[in-house]
Chains A and B, each alone.
Chain A
Amino acid sequence: MSTTTGTPPAAGDTTAATLTSDEHGNIELGKLTLAAEVIGQGTVAPPAVAEYALWLGDDALVLAQNLGWWISRAPELEEDIAIGNIALDLIGHARSFLSYAGSASGRTEDEMAYFRGEEEYRSAQLFEQANGDFAHTIARNFIAGCFQHALYERLQGSHDETLAAIAAKSIKEVDYHVDHATQWVLRLAGGTAKSRRRLIVGFADVWPYVDELFRDEPLNDELAGVAVRQSTLRPAFDTRVAAVFAEAELEVPVGFTATGGGRVGKHHETLGPLLAEMQVLARQFPGAAW
């Protein structure tokens, strides 16, 4: 037994060693890198494929940027973590799609993310919808997840190997996103009168942006066998939504259908401020490394 509590440990004491080297004294200069997670580096995308990769990359990035706001503001700590996880996954997907998209013009993922203007973005407007309250966020995430899940499921069979590989990796994560949103749809719908009311409002507000997701574009004709025709995804989407809505005793909202136009650079008015915030620092130091 020791009565010397608090006496500084002698040299060679294991704690001293831990304090001075093992845990943190020995900072490696090697870079922490998440680059291994970026799929398709080194492959050059044909121009039409690059345009299609932008659609999917921008969807993921814009949603991740929206979700980033919740971290430190979520209704409970577990949700700070869960929403953070979803945002992280989406950034990973965006990095793969955008680095592939950029390969066609010799641009990096960051040049694609930070140095394109609003009109050059190709996200669908659903992904651009503001967080609103937690119910709006869940409604938007649920739709986004169901859409991306149906899409990636089919894109795994794309003739373009890089797109197929990104889809195959991403779908496992989107599976979790859909599950997370579904659990919350059920909880909010079957929770209190207030939560149910808010969820119904949330779905009503984002539903006008569902239609755009399933519209075919001229690019689809050009990329037969490579891209997935959005219109063919609607049945899978409707089936999944119907199952969850039946359990939650919700009805599919009826009302407006928004004009859309995200795939040709026409965006919801939320996108400008979102990009301004995201890009502000990178644009202050063009060409800088971080």
Chain B
Amino acid sequence: MTISLPTRPIGGDISAEEQQFNDLIAQDSRIEPRDWMPEAYRKTLIRQIAQHAHSEIIGMQPESNWILRAPSLKRKAILIAKVQDEAGHGLYLYSAAQTLGVGRDEMTEQLIAGTARYSSIFNYATPTWADMGSIGWLVDGAAICNQVPLCRASYGPYGRAMVRICKEESFHQRQGFEILLELMNGTPEQRQMAQESVNRWYWPALMMFGPPDDDSPNSARSMAWKIKRFSNDELRRRFVGMLVPQAEVLGLTLPDPDLTWNEEKQAYDMGQPDWDEFHEVLAGRGQMNAQRMQRRRDAHDEGAWVREAAAAYAARQSATTERVVA
């Protein structure tokens, strides 16, 4: 057992447990559920993990829109497998959040009541099949850029959930890329469908990295706590750098006229997303906000009698077992 030397507290006393927490963070060690943690750290994590879980669950909807109309049986199977994975991601993340002392029912209630957030990207509509390609390539792609660093997040259960999730997300991105590739290799109408869809999803996908660094109030603290490892703008820039060669392979144009390679900076110069639109969607004024919430609420409400039946049956079964044992 190591005894950490007390360091000189800044502006007051710092408890031994807080010192230990700070040390763990400083050493890049994991914080585990039984470790002491500052209340603000716990709250930040609950908010972030729950929001992430909700995003996975709401994120099933834009793609489930095409399960019944998928244009080939192979695509139908791959799409079902993908949407199913997202449900699984939601489950892993709800479990991780539960280790911080919040219940799944409580989180679900918050989602349905509209007091918890989920990623705004899922408030965009999916009018065409090509959107299944754009979501995989751009939305799952952006999610991976955001999430790979989270595999090293300081909170153990979260980091470990993210490792499992990231493995599956790379499959998601690949299948999206493939959908677009098939379309780009297809008829002129199919190519047009792909380009039109990428035009719609490109900027919203870039918004997934969050507001610009100088306008991101919670980022600095999350980075100090190593919940977050890279700034929003840094991740966004990396993502675009990754997209450019892939877009070339696809033969698609990224809809940013300002996108150019800057030899001096060894990075791409790029235009800015429409941040007004970002704030509008965030405020609930996107294309599909009401619809997404309604679907989740309906599924929850209409499934209530089924969950009640399962609970009543389980209670009766365990009562019977107890009697038999006694």
Contacts and interface: CB of A to CB of B under 8 A. Distances in A.
Bound pair: A and B? yes
Interface of B: 26-28, 57, 60-61, 64, 67-78, 80-81, 83-84, 87-88, 90-91, 129, 141, 144-145, 148-149, 152, 166, 169-171, 173-175, 177-179, 181-183, 185-187, 189-190, 223-224, 226, 229-231, 234, 238, 241-242, 246, 249, 295, 298-299, 302-314, 316
B139 to A, nearest CB: 12
A191 B87 contact: no
Contacts of B166: 23
Interface in A1-51: 1-2, 5-6, 8, 15, 18-20, 23-25, 27-29, 31-35
A76 B307 CA distance: 7
Given A31-B178, A68-B76, A72-B295, A77 B87 contact: yes
A29 B181 contact: yes
B83 A71 contact: yes
A74 B141 CA distance: 27
Contacts of A288: 71, 186-187, 190
A288 B191 CA distance: 11
A5 B80 contact: no
A290 to B, nearest CB: 5
A42 B127 CA distance: 37
B60 A71 contact: yes
A15 B152 contact: yes
Contacts of B152: 15
Nearest to B143: A24
Interface residues of A, number: 68
A289 B182 contact: yes
A20 B242 CA distance: 7
Given A79-B306, A187-B309, A289-B182, 9 more contacts: A1-B27, A5-B223, A6-B223, A6-B229, A34-B77, A71-B60, A73-B298, A75-B304, A114-B72
B71 A281 contact: yes
Contacts of B238: 19-20
B76 A73 contact: no
B84 A290 contact: no
A243 to B, nearest CB: 18
B306 A188 contact: yes
A74 B298 CA distance: 10
A190 B72 contact: no
A32 B170 CA distance: 12
A186 B189 contact: no
Given A24-B242, A191-B313, A88 B77 contact: yes
Nearest to B67: A68
Interface string A153-193: 00000000000000000000000000000000011101110
A186 B313 contact: yes
A50 B148 CA distance: 49
B128 to A, nearest CB: 9
Nearest to B94: A77
19 contacts: A5-B229, A19-B148, A20-B238, A24-B173, A69-B68, A71-B64, A74-B303, A81-B87, A81-B88, A84-B87, A88-B77, A91-B80, A95-B73, A113-B73, A187-B310, A191-B312, A192-B308, A195-B305, A280-B69
A290 B182 contact: yes
Nearest to B311: A191
B80 A6 contact: no
Contacts of B174: 24, 27-28, 32
Given A5-B223, A32-B178, A71-B64, A187 B299 contact: no
B189 to A, nearest CB: 7
Lowest 6 A-B CB distances belong to which pairs?
A75-B303, A191-B309, A195-B309, A75-B306, A84-B84, A72-B64
A69 B80 CA distance: 10
Contacts of A285: 71, 186-187, 189-190
A24 B77 contact: no
Contacts of A114: 71-72
A24 B136 CA distance: 12
Contacts of B68: 65, 68-69, 277-278
Nearest to B75: A290
Contact of B307 (A75, A113, A281): A75
A54 interface: no
Nearest to B243: A25
Contacts of A69: 67-68
Nearest to B176: A27
A92 interface: yes
Nearest to A27: B177
Given A282-B72, A289-B185, A77 B90 contact: yes
B98 to A, nearest CB: 13
B72 A290 contact: yes
A35 B74 contact: yes
Contact of A88 (B26, B81, B173): B81
B145 A19 contact: yes
Nearest to A98: B73
A113 B40 CA distance: 55
A195 B304 CA distance: 10
Contact of B83 (A72, A113, A186, A198): A72
